[in-house]
């Protein structure tokens, strides 16, 4: 990890100021970085702050949400506080993004071609003709054999998987340094999922992009990620390489997640579960966010939130159970 | 797309037929005929009225009357007014129609020019002071009856300030050319605003909620993530989607363009179709009533037809069904 990070997020706090004057700490003190050619998976349940983290990177947090603190640097350039005008030159160009719902992520009233050409012309300042040529190339790259016909088609004429391919084409059109894929396969058939993820992987290698893969599917993590960040309650509770996470998970939450996976090696009648649900973001417990559901909860967990502690290999965990071990 | 439009026009024909049946049936269902309830000359033998009824075909069986009426209409003959001593209905209507159409178009223009930008602005800045103000104005505009607003407008702007004329379409027949145009527009201001008030409020509310809706949609987030500027997001990606439901509204309002002015025209003593319509009803002048009714109906049907055609221009999802 000697080469500089593409993206480094430090102490990011994105809060939502709700009408009942509560503050939802959707993202709270998040730190991580991604290097070129690396796929970092951001894992967590619904409501754990994964998507808000990615939208914070894009500076697309709408009211009542606000990035209240922290720094997001893209190749050393600070994005927080950057004007919207300047951000428009980064979004789509330096950072590409793919969303969860391909069915609704494309504008229904414009052709596929229109929507790809638009982004090419915005960022590359090229003629309509050249943009069209490049758009056709892009469509071929993401697997449309009859790309020229597809250019004239509308989103509703394509299947979900095909639309996600178009989204990928748009996201990689300007060869971004960072690709954010926000649950890119959640809404797709299982058979299509692998194709889409393989395509993302292929594009990553081709353009040496860094990929932030947001998912709640540990199978996807096992297959495609290099490093993993586990989020819970707006915070990263455990981080490490894929191997570290799957072989020697430390945090009770990560363990809970792993136990809830069906396994071919062991036969058991019941899958493990994590009791309870994620607390609402404006109602997190005072201490450790996971304390209300943790099987190993201790007295101090309820009062104070542990810090994230990393060992030499970079495997970090936010839990008092391992505090002694470190010292 | 053309297939769709042709199919849609083919559906238009039976609807038109149904409309004529309705118009005819309604006219027949109304009690009395042009001779009832009139101060009849006592020196005239009642036999004469019977002969007149016979001559006008009022005693024929309904299907025969209908067939005759239709036959004439298809030949462009809308019959003669009974009240206006046999002047042709077509002539009576065409005189007034232009006035009403100008009024309708003028009012629609004001409506759209005012309501759409305000609607977009309120959606861009929801819950701002201007948004609340226009919402308040919107409810007021919907709640105030047309005639009442018209009277207040006359009182304030015509009588008190004297800025605008309170009635008619022109000051005199002497003005011509450009001066006449200005004079006519000057006369249109108060009735135009009165007529457009409710529409303005409606379009404004629709526009606001549609734009707000679209702004929250996934493809707008995509457009933003592509690095599109705020103006591009609003005017290219949002507006076209937000206008789809507005087209429905305009399709319906197209009929109101001519038929909606009945009351407003009365208030401003405006020589349009509405005034003629009300007079004809009072006078039981059935040929005129039926023709105007038919015209109103045709406008509503055409409005819906146009809306459907515009849909498939704006929304590609409709074209290929």
To probe the interface with B, which of A17, A51, A100, A105 has the most B CB atoms within 10 Å?
A105
**Closest CA–CA distance from residue A119 to any residue of chain B (Å):** 6
Which domains are present in chain A? 7-94+174-326 (3.40.50.300)
Residue numbers in A near B230 (CB within 8 A): 84
Backbone φ and ψ of B166, nearest 5°: -95, -15
Please check whether residue A203 is in contact with residue A209, taking contact to mean a CB–CB distance below 8 angstroms: yes
Both tokens of B114, joined, read 């005012």
From the list A88, A90, A106, which residue is nearest B219 (CB)? A106
| Residues B218, A99: C-beta atoms closer than 8 Å | yes
Backbone φ and ψ of B260, nearest 5°: -75, -15
A256-270, B133-147, B255-269, B285-299: range with lowest mean pLDDT = A256-270
To probe the interface with B, which of A103, A109, A184 has the most B CB atoms within 10 Å?
A109
Place of tokens 């759409």: B116
* d(C-alpha B147, C-alpha B153), whole Å: 10
pLDDT score of A117: 95
A314's torsion region: left (phi>0), alpha (psi -120 to 50) or beta? left
* d(C-alpha B32, C-alpha B142), whole Å: 37
Percentage of the residues of chain B whose pLDDT score is greater than 90: 18
CA dihedral B221, B227, B230, B232 (to 10 degrees): -100
Provide the β-strand partners of residue A24. Answer: A16
pLDDT score of A280: 85
| Residues A90, B226: C-beta atoms closer than 8 Å | no
Residue numbers in A near B217 (CB within 8 A): 104
* pLDDT higher than 90, residue B95: no
What letter does residue B159 receive in the DSSP assignment? I
Provide the β-strand partners of residue B61. Answer: none
Which domains are present in chain B? 89-319 (1.10.3720.10)
Going by pLDDT thresholds of 50, 70 and 90, the confidence category of residue B34 is low
From the list B218, B230, B317, which residue is nearest A105 (CB)? B218
Please check whether residue B79 is in contact with residue B87, taking contact to mean a CB–CB distance below 8 angstroms: no
Q: Residue A208: helix, strand or coil by DSSP? A: coil
Q: Residue B73's CB: how many other CB atoms inside 10 A?
A: 15
Please check whether residue B119 is in contact with residue B206, taking contact to mean a CB–CB distance below 8 angstroms: yes
pLDDT score of A103: 87
pLDDT score of A53: 94
Q: Which residue of B has its CA nearest to A123?
A: B227
* d(C-alpha B96, C-alpha B9), whole Å: 28
To probe the interface with A, which of B212, B217, B222, B312 has the most A CB atoms within 10 Å?
B222
Burial of A175 (0-12, 13-18, 19+ CB in 10 A): middle
- H and E: helices and strands count for chain B: 14, 0
Confidence (pTM): 0.83
Residue numbers in B near A60 (CB within 8 A): 221, 224-225
| Residues A88, B237: C-beta atoms closer than 8 Å | no
From the list B227, B241, B315, which residue is nearest A91 (CB)? B227
> Concatenated DSSP letters for A229-289?
EEEETTEEEEEEEHHHHHHS--SHHHHHHHHTS--SSS--SS-----S-PPPTTS--SS-T
**Closest CA–CA distance from residue A256 to any residue of chain B (Å):** 32
CA dihedral B48, B53, B59, B64 (to 10 degrees): 140
Place of tokens 């025209």: B265
**Residue from A144, A318, A114, A322 nearest A234 by CA:** A318
**Closest CA–CA distance from residue A104 to any residue of chain B (Å):** 6
Residue numbers in A near B229 (CB within 8 A): 85, 88
Which residues on chain A place their C-beta less than 8 Å from a C-beta of chain B? 58, 60, 84-85, 87-93, 96-97, 99, 101, 104-111, 118-119, 122-123, 154, 156-157, 167, 170
From the list B226, B241, B315, which residue is nearest A170 (CB)? B226
Please check whether residue B79 is in contact with residue B89, taking contact to mean a CB–CB distance below 8 angstroms: yes
Residue numbers in A near B228 (CB within 8 A): 88, 92, 118-119, 122
What letter does residue A91 receive in the DSSP assignment? B
* Neighbouring residues of A242: CB distance < 8 A, sequence distance ≥ 6: A41, A221, A222, A225, A226, A227, A228
pLDDT score of A324: 63
From the list B227, B240, B315, which residue is nearest A92 (CB)? B227
| Residues B241, A108: C-beta atoms closer than 8 Å | yes
The number of residues making up chain B comes to 321
Both tokens of B120, joined, read 């977009």
Put the strands of the sheet holding A23-34 in their side by side order.
A23-34, A7-17, A65-74, A77-78
Residue numbers in B near A111 (CB within 8 A): 316
| Residues B316, A154: C-beta atoms closer than 8 Å | yes
Residue numbers in B near A156 (CB within 8 A): 316-317
**Residue from A142, A138, A174, A178 nearest A161 by CA:** A142
A129-133, A239-243, B4-8, B111-115: range with lowest mean pLDDT = B4-8
Question: Per-residue confidence of chain A (327 residues) as pLDDT tens digits?
Answer: 456 889 999 999 999 998 888 888 899 999 999 999 999 999 988 888 899 999 999 999 988 899 999 999 999 899 998 898 999 999 999 999 999 888 899 999 999 999 999 999 999 989 999 999 999 999 999 999 999 999 999 999 999 899 999 999 999 999 999 999 999 988 888 888 899 999 999 999 999 999 999 998 888 999 999 999 999 999 999 999 999 999 988 999 999 888 888 877 776 677 888 888 888 888 888 889 998 888 888 888 888 888 888 888 889 999 888 876 544
């Amino acid at each position: 990890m000697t080469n500089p990070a593409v993206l480094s997020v430090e102490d990011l706090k994105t809060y939502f100021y709700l009408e009942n004057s509560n503050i939802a700490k959707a993202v709270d003190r998040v730190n991580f970085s991604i290097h070129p050619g690396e796929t970092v998976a951001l894992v967590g349940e619904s409501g754990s702050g994964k998507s808000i983290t990615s939208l914070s990177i894009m500076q697309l947090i709408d009211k009542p949400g606000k990035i209240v603190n922290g720094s997001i640097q893209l190749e050393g350039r600070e994005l927080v506080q950057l004007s919207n005008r300047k951000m428009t030159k980064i979004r789509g160009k330096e950072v590409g993004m793919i969303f969860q719902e391909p069915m609704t992520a494309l504008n229904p009233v414009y052709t596929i071609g229109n929507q790809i050409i638009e982004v090419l012309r915005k960022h590359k300042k090229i003629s309509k003709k050249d943009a069209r040529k490049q758009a056709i190339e892009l469509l071929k790259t993401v697997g449309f054999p009859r790309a020229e016909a597809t250019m004239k088609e509308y989103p509703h004429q394509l299947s979900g998987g095909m639309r996600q391919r178009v989204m990928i084409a748009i996201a990689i059109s300007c060869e971004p340094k960072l690709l954010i894929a926000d649950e890119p396969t959640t809404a797709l058939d299982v058979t299509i999922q692998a194709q889409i993820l393989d395509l993302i992987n292929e594009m990553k290698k081709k353009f040496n992009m860094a990929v932030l893969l947001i998912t709640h599917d540990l199978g996807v993590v096992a297959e495609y990620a290099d490093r993993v960040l586990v989020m819970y309650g707006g915070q990263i509770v455990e981080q490490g390489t894929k191997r570290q996470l799957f072989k020697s998970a430390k945090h009770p939450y990560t363990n809970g997640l792993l136990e809830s996976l069906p396994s071919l090696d062991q036969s058991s009648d019941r899958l493990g579960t994590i009791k309870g649900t994620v607390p609402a973001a404006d109602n997190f417990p005072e201490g450790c966010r996971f304390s209300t559901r943790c099987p190993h909860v201790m007295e101090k967990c309820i009062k104070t939130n542990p810090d994230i502690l990393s060992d030499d290999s970079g495997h970090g965990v936010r839990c008092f159970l391992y505090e002694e071990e470190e010292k | 797309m053309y297939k769709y439009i042709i199919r849609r026009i083919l559906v238009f024909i039976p609807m038109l037929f149904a409309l004529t049946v309705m118009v005819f049936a309604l006219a027949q269902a109304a009690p009395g005929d042009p001779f009832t309830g009139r101060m009849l000359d006592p020196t005239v033998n009642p036999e004469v009225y019977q002969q007149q009824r016979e001559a006008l075909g009022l005693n024929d069986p309904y299907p025969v009357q209908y067939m005759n009426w239709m036959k004439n209409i298809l030949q462009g003959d809308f019959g003669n007014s009974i009240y206006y001593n046999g002047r042709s209905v077509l002539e009576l209507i065409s005189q007034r129609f232009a006035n009403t159409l100008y009024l309708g178009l003028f009012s629609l223009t004001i409506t759209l020019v005012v309501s759409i930008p305000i609607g977009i602005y309120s959606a861009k800045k929801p819950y701002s002071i201007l948004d609340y103000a226009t919402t308040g104005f919107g409810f007021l505009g919907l709640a105030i009856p047309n005639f009442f607003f018209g009277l207040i407008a006359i009182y304030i702007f015509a009588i008190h300030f004297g800025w605008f004329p309170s009635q008619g379409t022109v000051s005199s027949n002497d003005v011509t050319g450009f001066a006449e145009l200005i004079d006519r527009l000057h006369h249109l201001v108060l009735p135009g605003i009165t007529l457009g008030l409710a529409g303005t409020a409606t379009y404004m509310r629709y526009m606001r909620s549609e734009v707000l809706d679209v702004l929250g949609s996934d493809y707008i987030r995509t457009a933003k993530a592509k690095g599109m500027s705020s103006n591009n997001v609003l005017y290219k990606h949002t507006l076209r989607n937000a206008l789809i439901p507005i087209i429905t509204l305009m399709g319906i309002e197209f009929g109101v363009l001519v038929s909606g002015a009945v009351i407003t025209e009365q208030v401003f003593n405006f020589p349009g179709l509405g005034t003629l319509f009300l007079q004809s009803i009072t006078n039981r002048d059935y040929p005129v009533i039926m023709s105007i009714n038919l015209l109103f109906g045709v406008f509503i049907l055409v409005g819906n037809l146009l809306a459907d055609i515009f849909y498939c221009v704006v929304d590609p999802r409709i074209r290929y069904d």
